[in-house]
Amino acid sequence: MDTEENTFNVPIIWVLGGPGSGKGTQCDKIVAKYGFTHLSSGDLLRAEVASGSPRGKDLSDTMAKGALVPMEVVLDLLREAMLKAEKPSGFLIDGYPREKIQGIQFESTIAAVDVVLFFDCSEDTLTSRLLGRAASSGRVDDNEETIKKRLITFNTFNNEIVEHYEPKLKKINAERHPDDIFAEVIQYLDPLVQKAAAAVAQ
């Protein structure tokens, strides 16, 4: 399949940002307002690990090192979840792409993205948020050593994504109150939803 269009005919939004930038927090708000299907690459991977499947076995070690799991695994999980969604009104793909090539593969084998939200945050803020969450999250990667590695991974690959998707990218200051951040997010998503509704009405 070679997709230059969004063949799902609903908005597709990628959500980028460093570890702890608030991707999940903002996705919860977006789902509450717009009812989109939220697919977090990290959650899909953690569910795969928890399932005990052969595919999940190697993933935990990679995630505990703060590194990226193989691209094909994430892409397969996302594709399967998108195809399973019942009457989706839009897809929020959270934590994807992590490298430019992931984005290119998604668009050539699944569908074109409409908007890329990038939650921008300083390393100090990211680190203090994740350390604050560590006591309750139970995540293997919420510890000081792995957080440093997650930041290195993010800094290594994120710029190439931001440059490549610049025409569709909305860079958002994520060092504000979650409600203030969301007020900006709405400005980018309302027009998408209106456009999708108008297309259905035609």
- Interacting residues toward ligand AP5 by CB under 6 A: 17, 19-25, 41-42, 45, 62-63, 66-69, 74, 95-96, 98, 102, 129, 132-133, 141, 150, 174, 178, 181
The minimum distance between CB 197 and ligand AP5, in angstroms, equals 28
The minimum distance between CB 196 and ligand AP5, in angstroms, equals 25
Query: Which C-beta is closer to ligand AP5: that of 85 or that of 140?
Result: 140
CA 181 to CA 118: how far, in whole Å? 11
CA 89 to CA 71: how far, in whole Å? 26
Would you give the end-to-end CA distance of the chain in angstroms? 27
Which residue is it, tokens 């695994």? 73
Query: Which C-beta is closer to ligand AP5: that of 112 or that of 131?
Result: 131
The minimum distance between CB 33 and ligand AP5, in angstroms, equals 16
The minimum distance between CB 200 and ligand AP5, in angstroms, equals 30
CA 63 to CA 140: how far, in whole Å? 8
The minimum distance between CB 116 and ligand AP5, in angstroms, equals 13
CA torsion sign, 115 to 86 to 48 to 127? positive
Peptide bond into 70 cis (omega under 30): no
Query: Which C-beta is closer to ligand AP5: that of 115 or that of 117?
Result: 117
Query: Which C-beta is closer to ligand AP5: that of 61 or that of 163?
Result: 61
CA 57 to CA 60: how far, in whole Å? 7
Strand partners, 120: 173
The minimum distance between CB 24 and ligand AP5, in angstroms, equals 3
| Continuous H helices in 110-143 | 123-137
Which residue number is nearest to ligand AP5 in terms of Cβ?
Answer: 42
Query: Which C-beta is closer to ligand AP5: that of 8 or that of 102?
Result: 102
DSSP state of 114: S
Please choose, from the candidates 14, 7, 8, the residue with its C-alpha nearest in 3D space to the C-alpha of residue 168.
Answer: 14
Query: Which C-beta is closer to ligand AP5: that of 23 or that of 193?
Result: 23
Residue 37 tokens read as 């299907």
